[in-house]
Amino acid sequence: MAASTLQFPLPIQGVIVDLDGTMLDTIADLTVATNQMLVVLGEQPLPESVVRTFVGKGLRRLVERALARSVDGVAEATAVTAAMPIFERCYAAVNGTQTQIYPGVVAGLTQLRAAGFPLACMTNKSSAFALPLLARQDLAEFFSITVCGDTLPQKKPDPRPLLHICEQWGLAPAQVLMVGDSMNDVQAARAAGCPIFAVPYGYTEGRAVQRHEVDAIVATLTECISLIKKV
């Protein structure tokens, strides 16, 4: 990881937080849904450890990787399109049932809100799954804005979702911190001009977060508050 050239504590006016792998450990539900889909399609199920590496580019890419059985795999577009409604039915039935909130998330969000930072959730997961999941985990109340994978035409790593939130808040990207777990988050933040912190425990598509050019690695969300200041 390249050393950050920024001076801490960073002058920040808003914080955007990723969902899967940053706030919520959703891998058990995603694995169940993925394997139920594969069984319906006559394919062999995959270990959770493999499915974990497939998460990070949205549900369609997860399905494509599962069909190809490789993180770099490519499947026929028609096959992915046909598999998507099967996966969505399976996932809707289990969404949130085994999901766990990572340690420090509620405390970290509470600290940030108490310090006066507006909070947004940004995820590539579609609203049909992300919004019920946030509500089920009692996290929805923390966020003034939630941008899902179908809110805009673009998804991470495109910077547009971050820029959309900055525009809604009336803030410059440099004033808004992104907290995530994957290269998707890093690329989106860098392209938008936002500082980026990463947690080390999420879904990294097989690439350790320490290899990414982030401004800080925080063990939990509670560490963010000591590295930023409200301006």
pLDDT in tens, 62-75: 999 999 999 999 99
> Is residue 1 scored above 70 in pLDDT?
no
Over residues 179-192, the mean pLDDT reads 94
Q: What is the pLDDT of residues 197-210, one digit of tens each?
A: 999 999 987 777 77
C-alpha 145/C-alpha 100 separation (Å) is 22
Could you say which of 1.25.40, 1.10.3470, 1.10.150, 3.40.50 is the CATH number of the domain covering 27-94?
Answer: 1.10.150
- Residue 3: the pLDDT is 54
> Would you tell me how many other CB atoms lie within 10 Å of the CB of residue 148?
21
C-alpha 106/C-alpha 11 separation (Å) is 23
Q: Give Cα separations from 224 to 36, 40, 107, 204 (angstroms).
A: 38, 43, 11, 20
Closest CA to 10 of 172, 215, 221, 222: 215
Per-chain mean pLDDT for the chain? 95
Per the annotation, the verdict on 18 as an active-site residue is yes
Looking at residue 161, its amino acid is P
Q: What is the pLDDT of residues 138-156, one digit of tens each?
A: 999 999 999 999 999 999 9
Which tokens is 5 given? 């050239």
Over residues 161-189, the mean pLDDT reads 96
- Residue 159: the pLDDT is 98
For the chain, give every residue range classified as CATH 1.10.150: 27-94
CATH topology of domain 10-25+99-230: Rossmann fold (3.40.50)
For the chain, give every residue range classified as CATH 3.40.50.1000: 10-25+99-230
Q: What is the pLDDT of residues 28-56, one digit of tens each?
A: 999 999 999 999 999 999 999 999 999 98
Which tokens is 150 given? 């179908």
Q: Give Cα separations from 209 to 144, 154, 198, 203, 206 (angstroms).
A: 28, 23, 7, 9, 9
pLDDT range class, residue 2, cuts 50, 70, 90 = low
Over residues 216-223, the mean pLDDT reads 97
Q: What is the pLDDT of residues 97-118, one digit of tens each?
A: 999 999 999 999 999 999 999 9
